[in-house]
């Protein structure tokens, strides 16, 4: 059944209750043969509506199915340590449950500030503190008798610091404890905008959520476009779904690009009815071009070594090994392709280039020293421009991001 605008919920949002209910059911009712009690990882490119869906559709659907939802956005404050953000969210939930607090205060004989009439300081909860995350979550589970679903938005950010990684391990222990028969269950749902990065949280055995399913999160589609056209009825002539849908797909399924194009028309007070379709198409194309041009300007401002490192990383995807001799050869090919043959590519130059690319927010580094392209749509743009040819080490550029092929690169 197609999703539709819910009669409840936020008016300026297109809701997807059917999809939310399906995902919620899958998250809560784990089959004995599934690995998803490890958690579920949902990934989709930047600005395609992940956060909106998690907050406005999935969280309410999970709550309606009897779960207790704790939502954490690791991008809310990019400067904060991800472990602090996760711990604060759990503490805030705990503070809502007086019985859980009393239970903890009693079992640990703790004193401190009064919260909800209970003598207990929340500062005593955390990594390496008297009360662990496992104990805090168990207390919430036992008091509420509900499955707890922890939604971690932009979860890949957790592994950029070692305490963030520790927090993920602590959540894994909590999951194992709460999924035992004494408690009521813990599910972890992680989202992220970069498949390579998110995959690092569950690909290797030394990661907390090894083996958890990594699922492409469905983008907004025709139903959203129909909702958008219906709600753009303040334009002199209605927009047609047949015209807008291909434009939306070309824009990488980003609602903001359609919204900005419609606004351009809204503020053109000389616009006549018969011009609407043509002007709207033009405005969307302009938005797409502007975002791509902007990204290409940044690429062109790189030094030859930075550009070579960026392109080889983009072409290699998850296979990227920055200092292997085969990779060093590929940097040299990239430099030659750019007709910068006189430039020397050595290990220290590559190290410096990786640092500079991180500072420019083009490259992302996990705390274990594994690298990924910050925004996977940049890889697609580089590929379209022919800048990845012959650099992947296996013929064509890596097709790692093939599932998500938006045609713009928003920065």
Ligand X SMILES: Nc1ncnc2c1ncn2[C@@H]1O[C@H](COP(=O)(O)OP(=O)(O)OP(=O)(O)O)[C@@H](O)[C@H]1O
Contact residues for Mg ion (CB under 5 A)?
50-51
Among 5, 24, 36, 50, binds ligand X (CB under 6 A): 50
In total, the chain counts a number of residues equal to: 411
- Exposed/middle/buried for residue 84 (C-beta within 10 Å: 0-12, 13-18, 19+): middle
Find the shortest distance in angstroms from Cβ 328 to Mg ion.
Answer: 36
- 383 touches 397 (CB < 8 A): yes
Taking contact as CB under 6 A, which single stretch among the options 41-49, 115-123, 350-358, 395-403 is the one that binds ligand X? 41-49
Q: How far is the CB of 381 from ligand X (least distance, A)?
A: 16
Q: How far is the CB of 267 from Mg ion (least distance, A)?
A: 27
Residue 22 CA to its chain's centroid (Å): 20
Alpha carbon distance 67, 58 (integer Å): 11
Among 5, 6, 14, 306, which residue sits at the site for ligand X (rule: CB under 6 A)? Answer: 14
Shortest Å distance, C-beta 159 to Mg ion = 17
CB count within 10 Å of CB 10 equals 11
For residue 261, the minimal CB distance to ligand X (Å) is 13
**Number of residue whose CB is nearest ligand X:** 49
Binding track, positions 214-253, relative to ligand X; x by CB under 6 A: ------x---------------------------------
Pairing of strands 214-216, 363-365: unpaired
Torsion of CA 262, 59, 23, 141, to 10 degrees: 170
Query: Looking at beta carbons only, is 14 or 331 nearer to Mg ion?
Result: 14
Strands (E), 161-300: 186-192, 214-216
Q: Which is nearer to Mg ion, 51 or 253 (CB)?
A: 51
Q: Contact, 160 vs 366, CB < 8 A? A: yes
Is there binding between residue 398 and ligand X (CB under 6 A)? no
Instruction: Report the residue number, 218 or 390, with the smaller CB distance to ligand X.
Output: 218
Which C-beta is closer to ligand X: that of 185 or that of 218? 218
CB of 51 to Mg ion, least distance (A): 3
d(CA 323, CA 311): 15
Closest CB 337 distance from Mg ion, rounded Å: 35
Are the CB atoms for 248 and 258 separated by under 8 Å? yes
Near ligand X by CB under 6 A, which window of 48-56, 202-210, 261-269, 366-374?
A: 48-56
Q: Which residue's structure tokens are 């009690």?
A: 37
Binding to ligand X by residue 51, rule CB under 6 A?
yes
Cβ-Cβ contacts under 8 Å for 384 (sequence gap 6 or more):
407
* Chain residues in the site for ligand X (CB under 6 A): 13-14, 46-52, 193, 220, 255-256
């Amino acid at each position: 059944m197609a999703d539709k605008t819910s009669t409840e919920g936020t008016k300026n949002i297109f809701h997807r209750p059917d999809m939310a209910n399906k995902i919620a059911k899958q998250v809560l009712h784990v089959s004995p043969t599934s690995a998803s009690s490890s958690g579920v990882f949902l990934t989709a490119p930047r600005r395609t509506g992940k956060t909106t869906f998690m907050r406005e559709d999935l969280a309410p659907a999970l709550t309606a199915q009897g779960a207790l939802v704790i939502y954490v956005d690791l991008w809310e404050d990019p400067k904060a340590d991800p472990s602090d953000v996760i711990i604060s969210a759990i503490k805030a939930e705990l503070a809502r449950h007086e019985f859980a607090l009393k239970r903890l205060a009693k079992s640990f004989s703790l004193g401190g500030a009064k919260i909800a009439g209970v003598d207990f300081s929340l500062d005593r909860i955390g990594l390496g503190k008297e009360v662990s995350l496992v104990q805090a979550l168990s207390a919430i589970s036992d008091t509420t008798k509900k499955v707890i679903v922890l939604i971690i938005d932009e979860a890949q950010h957790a592994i950029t610091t070692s305490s963030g990684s520790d927090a993920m391990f602590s959540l894994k222990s909590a999951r194992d404890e709460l999924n035992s028969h004494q408690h009521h269950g813990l599910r972890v749902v992680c989202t992220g905008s970069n498949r390579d990065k998110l995959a690092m949280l569950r690909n290797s055995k030394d990661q907390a959520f090894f083996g958890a399913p990594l699922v492409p999160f469905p983008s907004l589609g025709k139903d959203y476009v129909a909702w958008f056209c219906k709600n753009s009825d303040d334009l002199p002539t209605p927009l047609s779904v047949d015209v807008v849908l291909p434009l939306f797909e070309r824009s990488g399924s980003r609602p903001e690009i359609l919204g900005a194009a419609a606004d351009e028309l809204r503020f053109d007070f000389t616009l006549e009815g018969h011009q609407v379709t043509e002007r709207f198409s033009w405005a969307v194309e302009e938005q797409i071009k502007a975002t791509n041009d902007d990204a290409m300007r940044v690429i062109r401002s790189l030094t030859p070594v930075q550009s070579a490192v960026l392109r080889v990383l983009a072409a290699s995807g998850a296979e990227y090994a920055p200092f292997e001799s085969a990779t060093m050869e590929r940097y040299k090919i990239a430099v030659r392709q750019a007709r910068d043959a006189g430039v020397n590519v050595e290990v220290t130059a590559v190290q410096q280039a990786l640092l500079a690319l991180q500072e420019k927010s083009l490259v992302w580094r996990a705390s274990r020293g594994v690298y990924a392209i910050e925004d996977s749509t940049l890889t697609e743009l580089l590929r379209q421009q022919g800048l990845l040819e012959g650099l992947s080490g296996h013929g064509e550029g890596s097709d790692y991001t093939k599932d998500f092929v938006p045609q713009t690169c928003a920065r």
